[in-house]
Structure 1
Amino acid sequence: MDEAQVDRILHNPKFKEMVAKKRNLSWTLTAIMLIVYVGFMLLVGYNKEFLLSSISGGVTTWGIPLGLGIIVLSFILCAVYSYIANNKLDQLNEEAMREVEAIAQQKGQD
């Protein structure tokens, strides 16, 4: 593939749309996870008493469900990414690949 083909692919609207949507989705989910995780770490650092306090007067403290919640959230965010990637981004990827193949075939005919 020569530079002209690469340039045409990089400036292809479908390719640009796919890259933008993937980037926005990745950064959004990353920001959610970082905010939650950093928030938990700040809670650990600055409000240990809350995390050590009992939920209902029993043995379980607030730290346990919050920590487990972060782990569960990571699985949920992974599932959200997989669902969107498989149902929306794959369609854009296929459309972009069809256009890339058309660009490559045009070069072969030239």
Structure 2
Amino acid sequence: MTGDIISRLGASPRYHTLVRRRSRFGWLLSGLVLGAFTVFTLLMAYEKAWMASPIGAGVTSIGVPIGMGLILFAIAMTALYVWRSNTAFDSEMAALIAELEP
């Protein structure tokens, strides 16, 4: 019976649309995180003096809050994916499976 549902899912255009939407969303968020890490790496490589300059009269450099922001950004993108997956994608998949069950 499970194999029957799987074969019907494979033939369903709604399933393929859902998979495409989920993949596109995942790749978009991955690209954003990769881009942010790439910019940070390039700043570290080519703007060392600026990244090492202290904030105000303190000893903390500009690179520290930027790096912390980068980590928080990656966590936020992961949380966004999990939230969207749990709310939109999983409910659509459950509805599709319920529709295809005999």
Give TM class, smaller chain. 0.7 to 0.9
Give the distance between the partners of 2:81 and 2:30, measured in 1 at CA: 10
1:63-82 mapped onto 2 (5 Å cutoff): 63-82=63-82
1:18-33 mapped onto 2 (5 Å cutoff): 18-33=18-33
Equivalence for 1:16: 16
Runs of 4+ residues over 6 Å off in structure 1: none
Are the aligned partners of 1:14 and 1:92 in contact in 2 as well (CA < 8 Å)?
no
**Unaligned segments of structure 2, at least 5 residues:** none
**Unaligned segments of structure 1, at least 5 residues:** 106-110
Tell me the C-alpha RMSD between the 2 structures: 1.6
| Fraction of identical pairs, as percent | 28
Aligned-partner SS, 1:65: helix
Q: Find the structure with the greater CA-based Rg.
A: 1
Deviations 1:45-72 (A, max 9, x none): 1110111011213111111001111111
Count of residues paired in the alignment: 99
Equivalence for 1:43: 43
Are the aligned partners of 1:22 and 1:89 in contact in 2 as well (CA < 8 Å)?
yes
